[in-house]
Structure 1
Amino acid sequence: MIPRIVMALAAVALPVSAIAEDEPKPTAPAASYEPNSASRTFTGTFGGRSLRYTATVEEQVLKGDDGTPKAAIVTTAYVAEPRDPSRPVTFLFNGGPGSGSVWLQMGAFGPQRVAIPSDARDDGAPPFPIVPNPDSILDVTDLVFIDPVGTGFSHTIGDTKGEEYWGVTKDAKSVAAVIRKWISENGRWNSPKFLGGESYGTTRSAAVVHELEGGYNDVSLNGVILISTVLDFGAGAETEGAELGYITTLPTMAATALYHGKATAPSVEQFVEEARRFAIGPYAAFLLKGQNASASERAAVRAELARFTGLSEQYLEQADLRVTSGRFYKELLRDRGLTVGRLDSRYTGIDYDNAGETPDNDPSFYGIDGGYAAAINHFMRDTIGYRTEREYVTIGNVGPWDWRLPGGRDTNAYLNVAPYLGKAMRENADMRILVAQGWYDFATPFFAAEYALTRTGFPQDRIEWRYYDSGHMMYVRDEDRRKLSDDVRAFIRAR
């Protein structure tokens, strides 16, 4: 049984169905281990530029202090030919924790992608179109996708246990070690460097920045790309007595209600801005007063909540004016017999019945998973030629996950890795941050990201914000994939 607090944190980017998957099996004895690899050269057109590139899938073997191989972390690198040591290189990973890099690789930035429906419909059954991706950013940067231990094809070696790598800091140390190893072996120490993560991958990004730039043997970074950001876990915690999560999810509820016709406004941008002001103002004041709020204040807040959420005042009163995201998914479209998605609330699903409090599953995850799993296996095994008997883990169990941070009781009572980024920005005057958020993302709400990165200690003039008319994986929508690509390309060029 996973402890309740750990499961709640892990669920930020991990669908419920993933929690029960089996732990990856150990490999051959460490003494006889030989790393696996495959490579192939292609041509393609990206950002309007034609170029040759080499795709290399290889195991980066991490060793213990005694030189014994302990883990094989698989990287998939796309490097333009001829090779240029002054060309930028971007290291990318997804989240979970427990997610392989399949989503960013086959959905957003890789040279090929899977073409699933762009309009929030289920991806159906194979064959799934795997097509050239002109929106890849390979025209401006080499790309290295990293699958941490227990994700993708990555695994421990011999008697090593996954728990040695499963934790905020443990994971960050291993990913930082892989980055150092890759730039050493490929002659890229003086290349401009960018780090990019999605969902828990943004948590990982902050922790990896701390490992790369927090000592004296620094790997300095030009920029960090945060896609669907979660840094301050207290800002979105849904537990008794915690009020901040109701504030940070309200603007996402407003955007969702508007999308599904349960609210009216000239634009999503205008409506969420109204919701921001209400959430941080009258609603926050009401929540902080608790049972000391007056009846008139309660009535005024209830009316505004109904306007923003599309829920009835009767339902809101029954919920004590505090609606969890899970209840919202089920209640918003109950009159239509539909639920809305967690990762992307544009998606709708049909439950076994219409009487429950929360949905059976997340339609925005089961609506895309088949296509991505097929695409990454086909591309790596059949196109690049990577040979392995291991299964590619798209979303797997990497638990128990160690959520502790250095610093003691108070640090771990309020889990927040955002200060790692603030410190790095203060000590590296050229490091910038790009934050990409979807309006319809409940897993990592945009207002929670704004809250985390506007605290004291963050140079605001080096943080760029971009918003998209989709959810957690904004690149599943064709228009937003192109916009994300253009935004990241401009960010890298502006170094």
Structure 2
Amino acid sequence: MSFRQLISMVVLCSVTSLSVHGLPVHAKEAKVSEAQQPLRSITEHQVRINGDRIKYQAIAGETFLYDDKDNPTASIHSVSYLRTDIKNDPTRPVTFVFNGGPGSASIWLHLGLFGPQRVVVPGDAKDDGAPPYQMVDNQYSMLDQTDLVFIDPVGTGLSRALGDKQGSDFWGVKEDARSIADFIRLWLTEYGRWNAAKYLAGESYGTTRAAAVTQELQGGWTNVSLNGVLLISSILDFTHARYQPGNHQPYIGFLPTMAATAFYHDKVSPQDKALGLEGFIEESRAFAIGEYASALLLGNRLTEQQYQQTRASLARFTGLSESYLDRVNLRVSAHRYTKQLLRDQDLTVGRLDSRYTGVDYDSGGEYIDNDPSGYGISGAYTAAIQDYLFRVLKVDTKRKFQVLSVDVNRGWNWNVSGKQMHFVNVAPYLGRAMRENSGLKVFVANGYFDFATPFFATENTFADNGIDNSRVTMAYYPAGHMMYVEPQSLQKLVKDMRAFYD
């Protein structure tokens, strides 16, 4: 061994023995100045889950990512929950959780579903009002079954770019997936959990991220095989969500959500009401994939009789007048629908959850002023995460917490192939992952009243793209995008997820 090699080994051993708040620090962090060392706060807690008292450690802090020259490129802020009242088990399941946007922090799944604390909002689609808001022990948390890691991607929460990197260097389908995959590998190493059962859980664009991260984790020789992927309000193929002349997919995929919404707001006939919500939805599915899809493809080749028949059926399932359907050429976008359905009552319906209603400045416009299901819960969640992180988890920083960054959303790079593309489709990533990992399962949670990621579009995505549906669990709830804000849907969702983990 040369003298230079000997000195290098001594330096390496010295650096790896350092610690930040009692936890190991990677050798790479020696290149970061003392003032830039990763923040880390560790607190001890207990919570009653599923009838049992659970003790756990909460670790809120930063993980630095590095380039191939050991220069720091980004700080990923996360909150990890590790159960402490059981024997240390390196194979215990761990679930990595994130929300979507793109540009959203992980607060919704953190404080609404998975985490040990939950913010309470009205379950009957009413506005959350003004503070104070109620935080309670989350008896529905999954912490008894799996350790949890909530990840805020760069530009969201407290996560940020470092060194000469810009946030935009991480804002893209592939760029984002690589950074999250890098974080997961570092976390597994730091906590000695490479042989643990591993799950990803994402909501909304977070489901897109989950598929892309799966590709990054399982697509090479530094393989991180996954046990399961949980997709909550899924969107994998964006052809189903982008209204553009010649693209019929959104009109087909959104139709059953319109039917569910019309049913909820009593815009259907008594005969259809008697079918019940799921019965009416099932008939709308058959119409959407059959007669309606055929009519859209036929276009001006439709006979007058076919046109009138399709128009009448479309009016039945949407609750809109045939005269209005004439004016839009049998093509109703979700954006128009949320304004049009209750126009006669001077009300709009929500995009994230169409059970919610709102009042616009005027009733004559084409689109809603704002999403009543968004502002109906955002005040509570925003206040709750700020209070929880800084007061309860003792995070010590003056940096602004980004709940949902417009800059990230508008600056997102949707190009995944190096070639110009109109639509992103990451569903084939899941198909490949399932072919190459016989133990990988997928859970999909769908809200009937979700106009952001409609359930029938998800079904159409999973009917294709090489996905093994024998290992896919589809679950449905009479609520919206964040179905867990509705109490009965929350209970059923947790029951379904527990069965999936088991």
TM-score by length of 1: 0.92
Contact 1:30/1:70, CA 8 A, preserved across alignment? no
- Match for residue 253 of structure 1 among 255, 258, 280: 258
Q: How does 1:40-439 map to 2 (within 5 A)?
A: 40-81=43-84, 82=86, 83-263=88-268, 264-265=272-273, 266-396=275-405, 397-398=407-408, 399-406=410-417, 408-409=419-420, 412-439=421-448
CA distance in 1, matches of 2:465, 2:147: 34
The one-letter code sitting in structure 2 at the alignment partner of 1:45 is R
CA deviations over 1:84-111 (Å, ceiling 9, x no partner):
2121000000000000000000111110
Contact 1:30/1:158, CA 8 A, preserved across alignment? no
What residue number does 1:466 align with?
Answer: 475
CA distance in 2, matches of 1:336, 1:168: 41
Contact 2:428/2:465, CA 8 A, preserved across alignment? no
Pairwise CA RMSD of aligned residues? 1.2
What residue number does 2:23 align with?
Answer: none
Q: What SS does structure 2 have at the residue aligned with 1:404?
A: coil
* Unaligned residue ranges in structure 2 (runs of 5+): 1-30
Contact 2:154/2:167, CA 8 A, preserved across alignment? yes
Tell me by how many angstroms 1:236 deviates.
2.0
CA distance in 1, matches of 2:141, 2:485: 14
Contact 1:47/1:137, CA 8 A, preserved across alignment? no
Contact 1:348/1:363, CA 8 A, preserved across alignment? yes
* Unaligned residue ranges in structure 1 (runs of 5+): 1-28
Q: What SS does structure 2 have at the residue aligned with 1:342?
A: coil
CA distance in 2, matches of 1:206, 1:86: 23
CA distance in 2, matches of 1:158, 1:478: 45
CA distance in 1, matches of 2:229, 2:465: 19
Q: What SS does structure 1 have at the residue aligned with 2:439?
A: coil
Q: What SS does structure 1 have at the residue aligned with 2:258?
A: helix
Moved more, 151-160 or 285-294: 151-160
The one-letter code sitting in structure 2 at the alignment partner of 1:72 is S
Contact 1:228/1:472, CA 8 A, preserved across alignment? yes
CA deviations over 1:63-84 (Å, ceiling 9, x no partner):
1221111110011001101432
Aligned length: 463
Moved more, 191-200 or 455-464: 455-464
Moved more, 340-349 or 477-486: 477-486
Tell me by how many angstroms 1:407 deviates.
6.1
Structure with higher RCO (Cα < 8 A, 6+ apart): 1
The one-letter code sitting in structure 2 at the alignment partner of 1:204 is R
CA distance in 2, matches of 1:455, 1:49: 42
The one-letter code sitting in structure 2 at the alignment partner of 1:247 is I
CA distance in 2, matches of 1:439, 1:30: 49
Which structure would you say has the larger Rg? 2
CA distance in 2, matches of 1:400, 1:394: 16
After the TM superposition, list the runs of 4 or more consecutive aligned residues in structure 1 that deviate by more than 6 angstroms.
Answer: none
CA distance in 1, matches of 2:230, 2:50: 18
Q: Does 1:37 align with 2:46?
A: no
Contact 1:53/1:79, CA 8 A, preserved across alignment? yes
Contact 1:128/1:375, CA 8 A, preserved across alignment? yes
CA deviations over 1:469-492 (Å, ceiling 9, x no partner):
100000111111121111111111
The one-letter code sitting in structure 2 at the alignment partner of 1:354 is S
Q: Does 1:440 align with 2:445?
A: no
Tell me by how many angstroms 1:456 deviates.
4.7
Tell me by how many angstroms 1:391 deviates.
1.6
Q: State percent identity of aligned pairs.
A: 51
Contact 2:356/2:372, CA 8 A, preserved across alignment? yes
Q: What SS does structure 2 have at the residue aligned with 1:360?
A: coil
CA deviations over 1:146-174 (Å, ceiling 9, x no partner):
00000111111233201110000000000
Tell me by how many angstroms 1:48 deviates.
2.3
Contact 1:316/1:323, CA 8 A, preserved across alignment? yes
Tell me by how many angstroms 1:461 deviates.
0.6
Q: What SS does structure 2 have at the residue aligned with 1:346?
A: coil
Q: What SS does structure 2 have at the residue aligned with 1:181?
A: helix
CA distance in 2, matches of 1:247, 1:417: 20
CA deviations over 1:215-253 (Å, ceiling 9, x no partner):
111100000000000000012211122111100000000
Q: What SS does structure 1 have at the residue aligned with 2:470?
A: helix
